[in-house]
A and B are shown apart, each in its own frame.
Chain A
Amino acid sequence: MEELLKKLAEILEVDEIDVNKKFTDYEVWDSLCGLSVIAMLDSDYGMAMKNKEILEFASIGDFCKAVIK
C-alpha cells in the first residue's frame, strides 16, 4: 500500500496522499495523470483499468484497496 501511495504522490506531484480524497480533488489531476495511473497499474500491478473506473472510486483509499486486494 505504501509503495502504491508513493507512486500516486509522484503522479499527483504532492509529498503525501490523503486517502480520503478523490483523484479529482487534486488540482493537478488531468487526463495525462489518468494515463500515468493506467500505465503504472499495467507495468507494476499487471492490471488494466479505464480512466472512468479510476474516477468512480469514492476515495483514493478505495482505489488502493481495489488494486492491492
Chain B
Amino acid sequence: MDFLFKHKRISGILTILPQKAVKFEDEMANYNFSPAKSMKLKLAMGYNEHRIAAPGQTSYDFCQFGLQYLFDNNLLKPEEIDALLFVSQSPDYFMPPTSNLLHGHFGLRQDCLCMDINQGCAGFELGMIQACLLLDQPAVKKVVLLNADVLSPKVSPRDRNSKPLIGDAAAITVVEQCEAENPIYANIKTDGTGALVLNIPAGGFRLPCSPETAVMEEDAAGNFRSKDNLVMQGDDVFNFVQREVPPMIEHLYEQSGVDRNEVDWYMFHQPNKFMLNKLADKLGVPREKMPANIVENFGNASGVTVPTCISFNLGDQLVNGEMQLCMAGFGVGLTWSSIMMKVGNLNFNKIIEY
C-alpha cells in the first residue's frame, strides 16, 4: 500500500541508549558453541557490543528520560504536542497504553491523541505513516513519535540466534506540519501467514506465563530457550528479507520518482551486518551508503534501529544540511515498509544515554 504526504517534516531525532554495554566475548560461554565457532559467528554477523537496559528499566523509562531532556533543553514544549505515538513490543502494561502513562506524567493537554502501536522492526516506518496520517488533520500540527523496545529480558542468555544481537533503546522523532511541500513517499506490506516467525510464545492472553512456560528446552541447533523467550526462525527471516525488500525499494524509486543516484543514504533496519551487506549488494547500492554498524555498536532494538542509525551516522550533518534518505524496516508481522523523503535542518539529532 502506497502513501503520499505533503507539507510535513521531521524536525528532530533523539536516540536514548542504556549506559550498560555488554561485549559479545563476555556472553560466549553461555552458547552451546566452541569459542572458535563463536568467533566465526561474531565476524560473520558483525557482533561486538550491545546496550542492555538495567534490571527494572522499561521502554517507558527511556521515553520519559528522553522527553524530559527535550523539555529541559527547550527543544520541545509539552503544550505543543498534539499526538503522542508509542510504537513498541514492550509496554509497561496490557492496560493502559504506555503513551497515556507518559501523557499523565508530563501533564500534557487533554487535546492530545495518545496511541500505542504494536510493531517491531518496521516500527519507525509504521509510526511515521501514522504520524503523517494524523498531520493531514488541520488540528494536528506536531506529533511526537516514540519508538522504544526493551526486549533483552525476553531473550534467553543461551540463545546465540538472538542474544548477541539484541539491544534496548528508545528514540523520539518529532514530526510536524511545514510550509514547504516536502513530499514523503511511503509504502507498507504485510504477510500475516508469517506472523509467528518472530514470536514470544508465552505471556499474552493466549498462553499466560506459568512454571511450564519457563521450562528451558534445547532446539535442533543447540540453543536453549523457554516459551517465555523470544524465538526467531532465522532462515525464514533471511529468505523473507532478501525476497521482499529489494522489490519494495525498486517500487519506491518508481513511486517517488527519485533516482537511485539521488539517494544520499539508505537508513535501514539493522538485523545484523551480514543481512544488510547482502541487501546492499542485491540492490546494487554501495555498502558505505547503507550503514550496517548499529548491531556491532549498540545491538538491534527493533523499531528503534532506523532513528539510531540516523543519529549515530549522520548526527549534526542533518542539523546543518539536508539529505535524501531512503528508509526501510522489515521483520515481525511479517511487515515490510519503506520511506523516501528529504530530512534535514533538524533542531536536534543526537544520542544520549540513560
Contacts and interface: CB of A to CB of B under 8 A. Distances in A.
A48 B41 CA distance: 21
B235 interface: yes
B239 A32 contact: no
B99 to A, nearest CB: 38
Contact of A35 (B222, B234, B282): B234
Contact of A30 (B37, B235, B236, B278): B37
A32 B33 CA distance: 11
B274 A43 contact: no
Interface residues of A, number: 15
A42 to B, nearest CB: 5
Interface string A36-50: 101100110000111
Nearest to A28: B37
B238 interface: yes
Nearest to B34: A30
A51 B235 contact: yes
Contacts, number: 42
Contact of B278 (A31, A32, A39): A39
B236 A50 contact: yes
A43 B235 contact: no
Given A35-B238, A38-B238, A30 B33 contact: yes
8 contacts: A30-B221, A31-B221, A42-B239, A42-B242, A48-B242, A48-B243, A49-B239, A51-B235
A32 B41 contact: yes
A50 B243 CA distance: 13
Interface string A9-39: 0000000000000000000001110111011
B289 interface: no
A39 B238 contact: yes
B249 to A, nearest CB: 16
A46 B282 CA distance: 11
A1 to B, nearest CB: 23
Given A30-B221, A32-B44, A35-B234, A50 B239 contact: yes
Contacts of A36: 44
